[in-house]
Structure 1
Amino acid sequence: MNTTTSDDRVDLNALGTESAGNDFDDMGAYRALWAAESKLMWRRLQLVIAVLSRRTAGIAGDDSESDRLLLDAETVLGAEVAALMSMSDGAGRTVVDTALEARDRLVHVANLLRDGLISVASFREIILQCKAIVDADVMAIVDAEIATEIRESGPVSKTDASSIARRHVAETDPDAVRDARQARGKGVTVSHDGDESVLTIAADAEQVLLAKKAVEASAAELTCADDSRSVGARRADLAIARLTGGEFTCNCGNPECPATATAAEVAERFARVVVHVVADASTLNGESDKAGWMDGYGVIDAHHVREAAARPDATVRPLDMAAIADNPAQAGSPYRPTAATDTAVRAVHGTCSVPGCARAAWSCDLDHVTEYNHADPESGGATCPCNLAPKCRFHHLVKTFVDGWLDDLVIDANGVIWVETVTPSGQSVRTRAANQWLVPDLGLLPCRHGAPVEPGTPDRSEPPQRSATRAATKRVYRMRLRSQRRFARACAEAEAKVLAGKEFNSAGEPPF
C-alpha cells in the first residue's frame, strides 16, 4: 500500500512559508506564495489533463457513440474530483472543464497560471469572456493576444483580466458579443434568504448604471446627516418607494430638516445623472469595430457603443487631445483640470489607479500624484495628465495618512503610462494604465511645465474616523446573523409542529 502523502511530494518551505522576521521579506514571501498558488493550480490542471488523456487514449475524437454517453470520461472524472475534494458534482465538472480550456483553447493564458502571473479566479473569468468564440483559429489568436497583453501589463486583478479578455473578444468577434448580450435578455427576479430578500433587475448596462446613480443621488438629496439609516438602507428604501409609488423622506424627525427637496428639485437632480462612455470616433461612425469603455461597467463592443450613442438622451462630445497639451488646467483655477483633461485621465485608467481596486474612475477623486503646491503652483506637482490619476476615496485617504504608502506616475519612452505603488513594507507594484488602448496618444503629449521642486504638503490634521468602532460593527453583524438563524429555527420548529399535528389528526383538522 502506498502511504506517500501530498506533503511528502511538495516542499512547502521552498514556496517561502518561513517568516524572515522583517516586513519587506515577509511581504515578499507573501507575494511569492500568491504566485505559488497559481503555479500549483496549473499543476493540478495538468494532472487532470493527464488522467483524462489516459482514459480517452483509445477513443477517436469523432466517436459519436462516446459523445452520447451520459457517464463519459469527463463526467466520471469530474465526479471523482468532486468526491476527493468534498465538493459538488458541478464544481468537480468545472475543474475538468477548466483543465480542458487550458489544454484546448487558452493554452497561452494557462501558461500565465504556470508562471504565477494571474490567479485561478482570473483564469476562470477569462474563460467566461471567451465562451462565445467557436472558431478554433479565432480562439488561438485571441488566446495569444490576451496572454501577451497581460504579460506586458504588470500584475492584473480579476477585473483587469476580465476587461482585457472582453476587449479582445469584442474587437475580434463583435457580432458574437452582441448576440450573447441580446440573448441574455431582461427580467426581474426575487430571492429570499432567512429574513433578507433580494430584488434583482436585469437590463442594459447603461440603464442599470443610470438607475443606480439616480438612486444614489436622490437618497443623498432627500436625507440629512441625522438620518439613522445606513447609506445602503436609505438607497434601498428610496428604490422601493419609487417602484411602489410610496413616499420616501428623511427619518431624522426634525420638522425643519434641511433635506426637503421638491419634486422639481429631485427631477432636476435626476437630469444631471450621467453615464460616461469613451470610444474612438471611427467606432461611432462605423469605420471600425474598436471596443469602447463604459464607466462603472467596463469594455463594451462596437455595436453597444453605437447603440448607446444613438439614445435620444445621449450627448456626444469630441475629446480634443491638442487642447489638453496646450491647456491641461483651467485658466482661472490651475489646481483644477479642464473637462478634456479630466475625461482623458479618467478614461486612460478606467478605475482607481491603485492595483486591484475596481472603483469606477468617475466615482473617484482625481489626485495629484506629486502634491500640488497651493502657495506656489509653479514649484509643486502640475495639473497635467503626467501627474493626475483617479483614486477612490479610501485609497486617497490611505495615500494621505499612511506613512510609507507612496505612489508615482511614470511615462516611458514609448508613451506608456505606468502607476507604481509602494506599500509600507517596502514592496513595489508597477502596473500599466488599464485603458491605454483607448487613449493611446495621451502619454505622448508634450508637457509644458517644469519639474516639481517643492511639492505641497498634504493636510494630516484630521485623520479619518470610523462611524463606529470595528468591534461595534462586528457586534451588529453577529446580531443580524443570530436574528436570521433564530428566524430559520422558528420556521423549522413551526413546520415540525404542523407535520406532527397532521400525523395525530387523521381527520385532517388544523393542529391548533
Structure 2
Amino acid sequence: MAGNVWAKVDLSPVGVGGEAGGALIDVLQAGEGMLMFLRFEAIYAMLTAAAAREGVEVGDADHRVVDVFASVAREVAVALRVAAGTADRQVNLAVEAAERLPQVARLMRDGVISVAAFGDVVLQTTGVADTDLIAAVDATTAAELREMGGVSRRDAGDTARRAVAELDPDGVRERRELRGKGVHVSHDVDGSDVTITTTPEDAVLIDASVSAVADRVCADDSRSRGVRRHDAAVALLTRGEFACDCGNPDCAATGSAATVAERFASVVVHVVADASTLSGDSDKAGWLDGFGVLDAHHVREIAARGDAITRPLDIAGLADHAAQPGNAYRPTSACDTAMRAVFGSCSEPGCARRAWSCDLDHVCEFNHADNAAGGATCPCNLNPKCRFHHVLKTFASDWVDDQIVDADGAIWTEVTTPTGYTVRSRARNHWLLPDLGLIPCRHGEPVAPGSVDDAAQPDRVRTRTQAKHAYRMRIRSRRRYVQVCAAADWAASIEQDGPPPF
C-alpha cells in the first residue's frame, strides 16, 4: 500500500521471508502478538496521560459520561475506524495487560500465546476482584502457559480457569450460584429462541442426550445434523416423537419408546478428579469432559448427585494391564479413561473436540499381524484424536506424529508438517494425572509398525469444488424463487387494484 510505513520495513532479521509453511505462519502470529502488545501500551499511555491532565487516577470512580476512559476510547475508535463498543474493549484489554495480567500479556508479546488467547484469559479472570488474588492468578497462569508448548485459545482459557478455581474457589462458587438457572424464550420477526441457563454438567448431559436421539436416523434422512438436533430437542421437551424422515415404513432407525429409553441409558458424562478433592482434603480442580475445569466444590456437588457413579482409577495397575487380556489392540477401561482424561481433548494442536468423542489412536501404528513388533497399546503410545484428525494422521502424506514422555513423567506430542514445521505440546491435563507418565513400560521398541492401506481411506461424496458449486446453486435458486414470488405478489396487487382511473 502506498504510504504504509510497514511496507518499507525489512522483516528478514526476524525470519519473515526466510521461513516457509507453518514456520512462517508462526513467526507472523508472533509478530501480531508483539504489535498488539505495543498497541495496548500506547492506549494505556494515552489513558494515563489523559488522567494526569484531568488530575485523576486511571481507576478512580467517575460518574461523568464523558470521563477519561470515554475520551480515550473515542480517539482509539477514530484511529482504528471501529465502533465505540470495539474501542471500549481495546481500552479495557490495554488496562488488563498493564494492571491485572502483565505476565500473561508478556507471553502475547513473546509469541507464546496469540492475541485471541490473551482475550480468553481476560474473560476467564474477569470475576477476580482482589488485587493479590489476580496477581497470583496472573503469575500461575503465565508460568503454566510458558511450559505447555503450542498453546491454543482453549488451552489458555482452561489454564486461567484452573488458576482461578484453585486460588479463588470461594469466589468461583459465589459467582456460579449468582448466575442461577432458568429458561428464557424470546421472539422476533423471523423466529424464536429458547435459552436454557444451567450447570455445566447438565448442559453436557443435555447436549449428549439430544445427540443420542438425533443421530439415530438412517442414511436416507434428508435433514442436516443441526436440524435433527433441533427436532430431537423439541420432541424431548414436548413429549413428541422423533423419527427418521426417510419415509420408508421399514426404517429400522425409527425406534419405540423403549428404544429411546435405551439410548438415554447409554448417555454418560465424564468427570475426572483427584481422590483428595472428593474427600474434601484439597481444593484441587477437576475436569468435566466437554466443558473443562471445575472447582473442587463443584466436583463434590456432582459426586453427591443421585445419578452419579464414582469409580476409582488404578493408575499404577496400568503397568501390567494397559491392554485387554484377550485383545492386545484394545486398551483396558482404566487405560482408555486415563488417556482421555490426561489429554482432555483431541491431541491435535488447537483442536477442542472433547476427549470422549474422539478415537483413541496408536501413535506408532499397531501391527495386527505381529503385535509385539508394532506400536504398543500403552500410555506412552496412545492419545485421543477426533475422527477427522485421526483420518489425516493415518492417510496424509509426509506428516509425522510422535509422542514422548519426559523424565518428569509429562507426556508430549509432536506434530511435524510436510514443510518441516514442528509443534510440541504437553498433554493439557498433566496436572490432573501427574503420575500417569511415570508408569513403567513393559514392551520393547517397535521394529515393524503396522502398515496403512491407502485404499481404505474414506472418500468424499463430492469434491470441494462440487460442494462449493452446489452451495452457490442453492443460493441462486433461492434468490430466483424469492424474485418470482415478489413478481407474482406485485402482479396480483395490480390486478386487484383494477384498471387505472383514466
Output the CA distance in 2 between the equivalents of 1:86 and 1:62.
Answer: 24
Q: Is the 8 A contact 1:194 1:488 kept in 2?
A: no
Q: Return the offset for 1:188.
A: 3.2
Matched, 1:271 2:265: yes
Deviations 1:94-117 (A, max 9, x none): 100100011101010000111011
1:426 to 420, 442, 445: 420
- Is residue 253 of structure 2 the alignment partner of residue 259 of structure 1? yes
Q: Which residue of 2 aligns with 1:351?
A: 345
Instruction: Report how many aligned residue pairs link the two structures.
Output: 487
In the TM superposition, residue 213 of structure 1 has moved relative to its aligned partner by 1.0
Amino acid at match of 1:51: M
CA shift for structure 1 position 184:
2.0
Which residue of structure 2 lines up, in the alignment, with residue 104 of structure 1? 99
Q: Does 1:46 align with 2:41?
A: yes
TM-score norm. by structure 2 comes to 0.90
2:328 pairs with 1:329: no
Structure 1 pair 92–491 and aligned structure 2 pair: CA distance change class (3 A):
farther
Tell me the distance in 2 between the aligned counterparts of 1:275 and 1:148.
31
Which residue does the alignment assign to 1:455?
A: 449
SS in 2 for 1:102: helix
Question: Hey, what's the Cα distance between the residues in 1 that align with 2:82 and 2:480?
Answer: 28
| Structure 1 residue 453, shift from structure 2 partner | 1.0
Deviation of 1:216 (Å)? 1.2
TM alignment of 1:164-183, pairs within 5 A:
164-183=159-178
- Unaligned 5+ residue runs, structure 2? 488-502
- Measure, in 2, the Cα distance between the counterparts of 1:62 and 1:422: 47
Partners of 2:331 and 2:368 in 1: CA distance: 14
- Deviations 1:261-284 (Å, cap 9, x if unpaired)? 221121021011000000011111
Q: Partners in 1 of 2:33 and 2:372 — Cα distance?
A: 47
Residue 494 of structure 2 is matched in structure 1 by none
Q: Which amino acid aligns with 1:7?
A: W
Q: Cα gap change, 1:53/1:307 in structure 2, threshold over 3 Å: closer, same or farther?
A: same
Alignment of 1:276-425 (within 5 A): 276-425=270-419
Q: Which residue of 1 is the match for residue 207 of structure 2?
A: 212
Taking a change above 3 Å as real, the CA distance of residues 259 and 297 of structure 1, as seen in their structure-2 partners, is same
Unaligned runs of 5+ in 1: 494-512
Pair 1:136 & 2:135 matched: no
Matched with 2:65 is 70
Q: Partner of 1:510 in structure 2?
A: none
* Structure-1 separation of matches of 2:190 and 2:468: 19
CA shift in 2, pair 1:28/1:369, >3 Å: same
Deviations 1:333-356 (CA, angstroms, capped at 9, x unpaired): 111111111111100000000100
Query: TM-score, length-normalised on structure 1?
Result: 0.89
Cα RMSD, aligned residues only: 2.7
Percent of paired sites with the same residue: 54
In structure 1, distance between residues paired with 2:478 and 2:83: 25
AA matched with 1:474:
K
1:224 aligns with 2:223: no
Aligned counterpart in structure 1 of residue 57 of structure 2, from 55, 61, 67: 61
**Structure 1 stretch 192-201 or stretch 67-76: which is displaced more?**
192-201
Kindly state the Cα deviation for residue 475 of structure 1 after the two structures are TM-superposed.
Answer: 4.3
8 Å CA contact 1:194–1:487 kept in 2: the answer is no
1:213-265 residue CA offsets vs partner (Å, 9 max, x unmatched): 111112223x1112122222222211122223332211112111121322112
> Structure 1 residues 317-326 or 381-390, which shifts more?
317-326
- Alpha carbons 1:15, 1:36 under 8 Å: kept: no
TM-aligned CA deviation for residue 129 of structure 1 = 0.8
Contact in 2 for aligned 1:195/1:487 (Cα 8 Å)? no
Q: Give, in angstroms, the shift of residue 456 of structure 1.
A: 0.8
Letter in 2 for 1:325: A
Measure, in 2, the Cα distance between the counterparts of 1:205 and 1:388.
28
